[in-house]
Amino acid sequence: MKRLTILALALWAAQAGAQGMSRGEYVARAGDCMACHTAADGAPLAGGLKFATPLGDIYSTNITPDKTHGIGGYSYDEFARAMREGVAKDGHHLYPAMPYPSYAKMSDDDLRALYDYLINEVTPQASANRESDIPWPLSMRWPLGLWNSLFVEDKPFTPRADKSAAWNRGAYLVQGPGHCGACHTPRAWACRRKPSTRATSSSLRAKPLTAGTRRRCAG
Ligand code: HEC
Ligand code: HEC
């Protein structure tokens, strides 16, 4: 197990280094933070991209290190809580349009590298976050805590000793930062992902979701 982890890390470092980027930037690219946290005409990672949900529109947030509008005031632990449990610094629950159920599988080392990258390498942008257009009472966020406790497994990825380092690395990328299951796993009621067994990975054999289902579940 230990050997596998070391191999996986070596592979990671070699890939990131070869591209001339920090490990944190590599993780940000693997997790595609930019795609959702940048509006069409907006500054990188300053948020504001609209997600249509059946309840109303929500907007991604500013994750540049700006202290007022971005995550400049987040400690590492607060950041890790947002990434794994979907809870923002001030305690409100994030809508699962932010794929924290997948990011929960990321390793501490990767989350730390990602945090260092966002705080130290990204240019702060003073763009205010936009409130969702979801009307009250549906806009209440506390039921999301209940949804999380029912459906989200917030356990980091554990490598399988009976598989190669490359297999484990791929499984980690798919289940964790790549959040492929966020779109490629069919949804059951309440937009939770249908249970899958790790042995067959049947969830990912399903056809990709249609655009319609994606819109309904927004994430
Ligand atoms: C599929 C779209 C999507 C992707 C990919 C995504 N996010 Fe998000 N994220 C969102 C949305 C939408 C919100 C706001 C949710 C809300 O307001 O409830 C959010 C919120 C957040 C927050 C809370 C910020 C705050 O204002 O308190 C953090 C931190 C965050 N994302 C970090 C990241 C990082 C780092 C990545 C890349 C590893 C990432 N996100 C990738 C959609 C996404
Ligand atoms: C934000 C949603 C989303 C995420 C995240 C996502 N995909 Fe997809 N993917 C789609 C959609 C939608 C399609 C179908 C596109 C089409 O048919 O034009 C697709 C198509 C594909 C296809 C082509 C399948 C075929 O039958 O032709 C592959 C392969 C694929 N995705 C792999 C991945 C992998 C691997 C990941 C994770 C690294 C991933 N996807 C993450 C939405 C997503």
pLDDT digits (tens, 9 = 90+) for 154-210: 788 999 999 999 999 999 999 999 999 888 877 655 666 665 544 444 445 444 444
The owner of tokens 């990011």 is 103
Q: Is the pLDDT of residue 117 over 70?
A: yes
Q: Give the mean model confidence (pLDDT) for residues 82-94.
A: 96
pLDDT of 113 above 90: yes
**Residue-level pLDDT at 191:** 60
pLDDT tops 50 at residue 103: yes
Give the mean model confidence (pLDDT) for residues 44-61: 94
CA distance 61 to 63: 6
pLDDT reported for residue 200: 41
pLDDT above 90 covers what percent of the chain?
59
Q: Whose CA is nearest to atom 34 of ligand 2?
A: 180
- C-beta separation of 95 from 219 below 8 A: yes
Residue type, 185: T
User: What local confidence, expressed as pLDDT, does residue 187 receive?
Assistant: 66
Contact 145, 65 (CB under 8 A): no
Tell me the pLDDT tens digit for each residue of 10-38: 555 556 666 789 999 999 999 999 999 99
Nearest protein Cα to ligand 2, atom 29: 208
Question: Token pair for residue 21?
Answer: 């980027």
Q: Residue 70: exposed, middle, or buried by beta-carbon count in 10 A (0-12, 13-18, 19+)?
A: buried
Count the neighbouring beta carbons within 10 Å of the beta carbon of residue 200.
Answer: 9
Residues 101 and 195 sit within 8 Å (Cβ to Cβ): no
- Indicate the DSSP class of residue 69: T
- 83 and 111 Cβ atoms separated by less than 8 Å: yes
Mean pLDDT for 69-83 is: 98
Cis peptide before 137 (omega within 30 of 0): yes
Residues framing ligand 1 (Cβ under 6 A): 28, 31-33, 35-37, 51, 58, 60-61, 63, 71, 79, 82, 88-89, 94-95, 97-99, 114, 129, 219
Q: Look at residue 3 and tell me whether its pLDDT is greater than 50.
A: no
Residues near ligand 2 (Cβ within 6 A): 174, 178-180, 182-184, 208
Structure tokens at 142: 């506390």
Q: Which two tokens stand for residue 59?
A: 């907007």
Lowest average pLDDT, out of 4-13, 89-98, 122-131, goes to: 4-13
* pLDDT at residue 6, as a whole number: 46
